[in-house]
Structure 1
Amino acid sequence: MLRPTHLRPVLRSSPRCQQCLRRSLFSGKGTSRVSQDLDLNKLNSQRRDYERHRTIFLAAGATAGIISFIYTAWKLKKALAQQAEKQKEKAAVKCDAPPIPKETFKTEAGEKRKIVVHDEEGRVIVPTGNSVVPAFPRNIEVKLSSAEGDDSIAATISDKQGNEYTLVGLGVRTVTFIGIQVYMVGFYVATQDIAKLQQYLVKKINPTATTLIPSEKDALRKALRDATEGEETWDALLRDSDCRSVLRIVPVRDTDFHHLRDGFVRSIAARSQRNQAYNDESFGAAMKEFKALFNRGSVPKKQELLLCRDGKGALTVMFNSSRGKESKMELLGKVEDERLSRLLWLNYLAGSKVASEPARESIIEGVMEFVERPVGTVASQVV
């Protein structure tokens, strides 16, 4: 039976059929959108994993590089030390004289004394522990030019002329973290001025004492080792005590004046920047004068450079350019500004960072030998 024609449009436009048609048309798009979201999450996860693995790989490579660098530096330092030891043994075999003793001995009364060693000229020498520069003289005599402003008169070192200076302490100057040795440095004080050094340091700990007992020596040692207090102590001593002193520098390898000058200037500049008292034209002019003294050529190993500080703080620089037994010093020049020599001296005596930690420690121990004796007696014993 045929369906009436007027009913057909009603069936086509039925709401229920339209809803089914709409659901079937859009059902495919909904499914693809969900799958697309799932794919993006997967890609993001993969990207994060890649970045994490890449970071771990780079960090592992950097760590391996640092470890290999440190290991190579350690092997190099060990090889240099072995080479130096072999050279020292060869030098000992070639030398007919017995090695310099470093040990001490005790007398029957229990007093601890150092073994005294003399060189070929009969001078007392102090071992350095270095194979290139094995010893420093216990005493040196420095004669500066007597004519003021006369640079033609050379300064000389001898055993019969000039002012005598006594060694307080010495040590080696090293650079870089593998400890490459550059020069040996010794700190000398004028023998006649040792009493001033004694008196100032003793009075710092005990104003009523003339010598220090062991507990007071420990207090002084602690004060000199402290970065701040030690620098204040030596700064005041150099400024107020008019104590004459000398820094004796002997390179253990070939170098040049410019290299030595750069090290000195860096240390002076670093300390001067902390204090506004050095920011003036006169100090800048003194720095220029000091730099001009080192506009020279090479400095062979074992040749000595003397930095002399007089009672007023003026700095005189001398260099031994001669070779052989006769020591002939050449006067390089003079800087009058006391502040410059004081900052240069502090670079070896005190502060958080010094040019040679072994030298600073040796100087402190040398000072301890002075202050354990009554003020004024050390100079008479030395002379």
Structure 2
Amino acid sequence: MFRPPALRRFAGTPAPIRPLQVVVPRRSIFSRRNDRRRSSRAVENLDIQRLAKEAEEWHRQRRIFLWSGAIAGVLSTIYTAYKLKLAIEREHKLDADLPSTDPLAGANAADRKIVIHDEEGREMVPTGNSTVPMFPRTLDLPAFTTPITSPSPDATATPTITTPSGTTEYTLVGLGLRTVTFVGLQVYVVGYYVATADIAALQNALTKRINPIATTLVPGEREQLRAALLDPAEGERTWDELLAAGVPARSAFRIVPVRDTDFHHLRDGFVRAVQARAGPQTMADESFGEAMRQFRAVFNRGSAPKRKELLLVRDETGRLSIAYDGGANKKEGRPAGRQLIGVVEDERLSRALWLNYLAGKKVASEPARQNIVEGIMGFVERPVGTVASQVVPVLNPKV
């Protein structure tokens, strides 16, 4: 019987073994495009709804976090303000419990001067100027008793200082910055000091001008005194009468340049101020003319570097003593410390020079005049005889 070859193999004849063939896809220029198509199909298979829900949840939690931070900030601000209010009220209550004789009684904590101590423990008052940042709250000055009736033109001849009665403490009343020209060029910082022992007489004289039977001024009376001292005509009349009567008996102006200058520049400013205040009749007086020549001769010197101290001191007779602390200089044989450089006996000259800072339509430093008046307000609000040494107004740093 005839069988086909295929049937004969199944019937028992083994088929020939062929090698395994693996089909490897061929790469072409279109292979990368096909890969991208397969990748895009994979992305299309992602769960878009699930991703949207996760993004929405993330944004919701972020909003909750931001709102929580904002609410916490507002609550902390309110809590801090409340605690500060309680602290201020507690301090005011403590102030109210002070006896009337206490120098701090009746003073607002916001109006008090914060006094800073330096490395040596001295009390310093900020000036608001970066070159001369601090002024001492008190000065211990000797009694300048060496008169100079005919000063030598030799600027190196320095008179000696005699101190038979030791030193006198002066307390800062107010300070300010002297500026010139329309651009406000800063020249020096000036501070007005009054002998601590003479403050009571100044308190009494100013108080009696407003209320003859009072020992201290109430708020309305203090405002009346402030307006009088700041008024050009009334303020000049008030200070002229006080200085002519020797009130305060001892006072001083401390001048510290904030830029390098010279004594001739300072002298010219002082001379113009004296001529404007003294008036033509006084200027025509021969003795006053001699005093002016003495005053000019005192400033016949060289440079006045910044941060060096110049003192104008007026004693109980009205005599003007001028001292300068230029620092030690071995080359010139100059010792360290304040050195007396001149004395002018005529009281009218020192009074005109004092009025240049204290009163009038135009003063050498308006910030200094304002600050001095505020310092005086701190004095007259206390009973006569108490030294309000802590109440020194803050100089406005913007000036």
TM-score by length of 1: 0.67
SS in 1 for 2:387: helix
Residue aligning to 1:10: none
Partner residue of 1:267 out of 245, 269, 273: 273
- What is the CA deviation profile of residues 328-372 of structure 1, one whole-angstrom value per residue up to 9, with x for unaligned ones? 111111000000000000000000000000000000000000000
1:145/1:153 contact within 8 Å kept: no
Match of 1:349 in 2: 358
- Where do residues 65-144 of structure 1 align in structure 2 (5 Å cutoff)? 107-109=91-93, 111-112=108-109, 113-144=112-143
Matched, 1:154 2:161: yes
Q: What does residue 101 of structure 1 align with?
A: none
Identical aligned residues as a percent: 60
Q: Which residue of 1 aligns with 2:80?
A: none
Instruction: From the two aligned structures, give the one with the greater helix fraction.
Output: 1
Counterpart residue number, 1:210: 215
Counterpart secondary structure, 1:211: coil
The counterpart of 1:194, out of the listed 192, 199, 219, is 199
State the Cα deviation string for residues 195-219 of structure 1 (Å, max 9, x = none): 1110110000000000000000000
Distance 2:166 2:327 in 1: 19
Q: Which amino acid aligns with 1:231?
A: E
Question: What's the offset of the Cα at 1:251?
Answer: 0.1
Pairing 1:314–2:319 present = yes
- Higher relative CO (Cα under 8 Å, sequence separation at least 6) belongs to 2
1:118 is displaced (CA, Å) by: 0.7
Give 1:319 deviation, angstroms. 0.2
Structure 2 CA distance for aligned equivalents of residues 155 and 182 of structure 1: 31
- Aligned match of 1:176: 181
* Partner SS, residue 173 of structure 1: strand
| Paired AA for residue 302 in structure 1 | R
2:254 aligned partner: 248
Residue ranges of structure 2 left out of the alignment (5+ in a row):
1-87, 96-107, 150-157, 330-334, 392-399
Give the letter for the 1:193 counterpart. D
User: Quick one: which amino acid aligns to residue 154 of structure 1?
Assistant: I
Q: Deviations over 1:178-210 (max 9, x none)?
A: 100000000000001001110110000000000
Counterpart contact for 2:142–2:167, Cα < 8 Å = yes
Output the amino acid matched with 1:272: A
Runs of at least 5 residues in structure 1 that lack an aligned partner in the other structure: 1-104
After TM superposition, give the deviation of residue 322 of structure 1 in Å. Answer: 0.8
Secondary structure at the residue paired with 2:265? helix
Q: Which one of the candidate residues 331, 340, 343 is aligned to 1:334?
A: 343
- Between the aligned partners of 1:143 and 1:293, the Cα distance in structure 2 is 19
Distance (Å, rounded) in 2 between the aligned partners of 1:315 and 1:303: 20
Q: CA deviation at 1:147?
A: 5.6
Deviation string for 1:37-92 (max 9, x for gaps)? xxxxxxxxxxxxxxxxxxxxxxxxxxxxxxxxxxxxxxxxxxxxxxxxxxxxxxxx
**Using the alignment, how far apart are the partners of 1:114 and 1:286 within structure 2?**
39
**Contact 1:211-1:372 within 8 A present in 2 as well:** yes
Please report the TM-score for the alignment, with normalisation by the length of structure 2: 0.65
In the comparison of the two structures, how many residue pairs are matched?
273
Query: Does 2:296 correspond to 1:291?
Result: yes
> What is the CA–CA distance in structure 1 between the aligned matches of 2:356 and 2:303, rounded to whole Å?
23
Structure 1 distance, partners of 2:300, 2:159, is 18
Tell me: CA distance 1:339–1:133, structure 2 relative to 1, closer, same or farther (3 Å).
same
Q: Secondary structure at the match of 1:378?
A: coil
User: Cα 1:227–1:149, aligned 2, differ >3 Å: closer, same or farther?
Assistant: closer
Question: Which residue matches 2:384?
Answer: 375
- Aligned equivalents of 1:172 and 1:200: distance in 2? 28
Q: Quote the Cα distance in structure 2 between the aligned partners of 1:147 and 1:292.
A: 16
In 2 relative to 1, CA 149–268 (structure 1 residues): closer, same or farther, beyond 3 Å? closer
Contact 1:195 1:379 in 2 (8 A): no
| Contact 1:194 1:379 survives alignment (8 Å) | no
Q: Distance in 1 between matches of 2:388 and 2:336?
A: 25
| Map of 1:276 onto structure 2 | 281
Which region of structure 1 is more displaced relative to structure 2, 372-381 or 286-295?
A: 372-381
Deviation of 1:161 (Å)? 5.2
Secondary structure (helix, strand or coil) at the match of 1:363 reads helix
* CA radius of gyration, larger in: 2
Root-mean-square deviation (CA, aligned residues, Å) is 2.4
Secondary structure of 2:124 counterpart: strand
Task: Read off the aligned partner of 2:386 and give its amino acid letter.
Answer: T
- Find the aligned partners of 1:270 and 1:276 in 2 and give their Cα distance: 11
The AA in structure 1 aligned to 2:266 is: L
Deviation at 1:117, TM superposition (A): 1.2
Contact kept in structure 2, 1:191 and 1:379, CA below 8 Å: no
